[in-house]
Structure 1
C-alpha cells in the first residue's frame, strides 16, 4: 500500500510530522517498539504519531530528538501542530476526545467541558481572568460547545460522568445558570445519552477527591488518561499508570449514588436554584 506521502495529496501538519518521524526511525534501524522503549512511551503511541493521529507531548518530542539525533527538529516542529482552539496543555487531549469510543469523567469542582452549557462556560472563562476581552471569551465558549457536539450523535462515544457534590453546589454564574446547567446534565442522563453519578459530601474521603480526571478508551489504541491543574495538564498513556487511574475511578463509582438517585439529586438541586432565582 502506498503511503500518503507517495500520493498527490497534501499532508496535514500531523501527517508530515509522522512521516518525518518514520523516516528518521527507519534510517536509525529502529522498530516502533524499540523507539518507544528508548523515549519511554509505548510502541503504539509511536505508531499513532507516525500516522498523524496523535500529537507528542513536549517531553516526548525532546526525547525523540535526543534518541534520533535530530538537533531539536521534532521539538521545533511540534509547534506547528498546536491549535489555537484550546490551551496548549489540553490540545492533545481534545484531539483524542474526538477519537474515543468511551469517555469517563470525574469532576471535582467544575462541570466537565463536554457537558457545559454556554452560560456556564462563559462564567467559567470570565472567572478565570479579571481582565478579559469579550471576543476572546466568545471564542472560548464556541470552542467548548463544539467539543460537546460529540454528544449529539448516538454512535459517538459512551460518556460516563461522576460529579463530586462540590460541582453542583458551587454557584457558577448564579442560580439561573446553575439551574439550566443541572437540567442539561439530567436531560442528557434521562435521554440515555450519558451515565451520570454524584458523589455526595456524606461519603467523605474517597479515591479521586483530590483531582479531576478523564479516561479515554479507543478501538485501536491503548487507553489514555488526562489530569489537569491550574494552567497545567498531563496526558498519560503509560499502561500501568492509566490502570491506577482506572482503579481510582472504579472506587469513586462505587462510592457514588446510583444513576437514578443521582439524576433525582441533580433535578432537586436545580429546582432549589430556580426557587432561589
Structure 2
C-alpha cells in the first residue's frame, strides 16, 4: 500500500473512531480511561498522528462494541508482509520520529545495514526461504534507511557494543563494507555513533536491544525486541528509566571520535583479511 493511500486509510480509521466514540457518548478522556491510554492519545489516533497498538484497537472494539471493526482495519493497515508482525507498528513509528536512539549488543541496527550484511543475517535466520523472499526482506530493510537520507531526517544516535564489530556476519568482505558504510554516515554527520568496548565490562541495559523514538507532537516510545517478539513501551515511568539507562550507556562508551577510529580499524582488518583470502 502506498504511503499516501495508507495515510488516507488511517485518517478514515481516526474519523470512524471519533464518530463511534461520540455516538457512545464518550469524551476522548472517557474512552482513554476505558482502554488504558490517555485522552491525548485518543485525540492523536483520531487525527491519524499516531497509530494505536493492536491491544488498544481490540479494547476500543470491546468498549465501543464495534464487532472487531478497528482490529480488522488495524491488521489491514499495519500488517505489512515485508516486516515481521511484531515489528510492523515500530516501523510505522520510525517514519514519524524526530529522534532515534539505538542500542545494539550484537548486530548492526537495521537502519544502518548494507544489502549484503542484511542478506547474510536473513539467510542465517531463514535458511529454507526462497531467494525472492530473502530479497524482499532485504529491500524492505533498506527502504527503512531512506529516512536517514531525507532532508528532514531524524537525529540518529546509536551505541553499539564492540561485539557488533567482531562478529563477522557474512565474512570479512561483507563486514568491511558494512563498517565502512557506518563510518561514511558518521563522517558525513548524518548519524552519531559510539562503541562500548569490551573493556567496559558490565554496562547499563546489558544485552538489551532497544530503540528510543521521540516525536514532535507525541510522547516518546521505546521498542524492545526478543526472540520472534517485540514490544512498544510508552508508559512514561518506563520510558524515563530506559532514557536514564541509555544516558549511562553513552557515558560508559567511547567518545564518537574514538568510536569511529575503532570502527575504521576493524574495517581495515576485515579488508586485509578479505584481500588475502
Deviation at 1:54, TM superposition (A): 3.1
**Of 239, 257, 264, which residue of structure 1 is paired with 2:261?**
264
Residue deviations 1:29-79, cap 9 Å, x none? 222223222211233322222222333222111211222222322222222
Do structure 1's residue 218 and structure 2's residue 215 form an aligned pair? yes
Asked if the contact 1:196/1:259 (under 8 Å) is kept, the reply is yes
The 3 A distance-change label for structure 1 pair 84 and 10 is closer
Residue deviations 1:216-236, cap 9 Å, x none? 111111111111112111112
**Of 182, 204, 227, which residue of structure 2 is paired with 1:207?**
204
Do structure 1's residue 60 and structure 2's residue 56 form an aligned pair? yes
RMSD of equivalent CA atoms? 1.7
Q: TM-score, normalised by structure 1?
A: 0.92
Alignment-derived partner of residue 51 in structure 1: 47
How many residues get paired? 269
The range that moved more, 28-37 or 190-199, is 28-37
Residues in 1 aligned to 2:99 and 2:91: alpha-carbon distance in whole angstroms? 14
Alignment-derived partner of residue 104 in structure 1: 101
Residues in 2 aligned to 1:121 and 1:42: alpha-carbon distance in whole angstroms? 38
Deviation at 1:24, TM superposition (A): 1.6
Runs of 4+ in structure 1 off by over 3 angstroms are none
Alignment-derived partner of residue 272 in structure 2: 275
**Of 115, 118, 124, which residue of structure 1 is paired with 2:121?**
124
Asked if the contact 2:7/2:48 (under 8 Å) is kept, the reply is no
Alignment-derived partner of residue 37 in structure 1: 33
Alignment-derived partner of residue 15 in structure 1: 11
Alignment-derived partner of residue 71 in structure 1: 67
Unpaired segments ≥5 residues, structure 1: 1-8
Residues in 2 aligned to 1:29 and 1:200: alpha-carbon distance in whole angstroms? 57
Alignment-derived partner of residue 4 in structure 1: none
The 3 A distance-change label for structure 1 pair 22 and 164 is same
Q: Secondary structure at the match of 2:87?
A: helix
Residues in 2 aligned to 1:155 and 1:13: alpha-carbon distance in whole angstroms? 24
Residues in 2 aligned to 1:173 and 1:10: alpha-carbon distance in whole angstroms? 35
Alignment-derived partner of residue 173 in structure 2: 176
Deviation at 1:175, TM superposition (A): 0.7
Asked if the contact 2:29/2:40 (under 8 Å) is kept, the reply is yes
Asked if the contact 2:112/2:182 (under 8 Å) is kept, the reply is yes
Alignment-derived partner of residue 164 in structure 1: 161
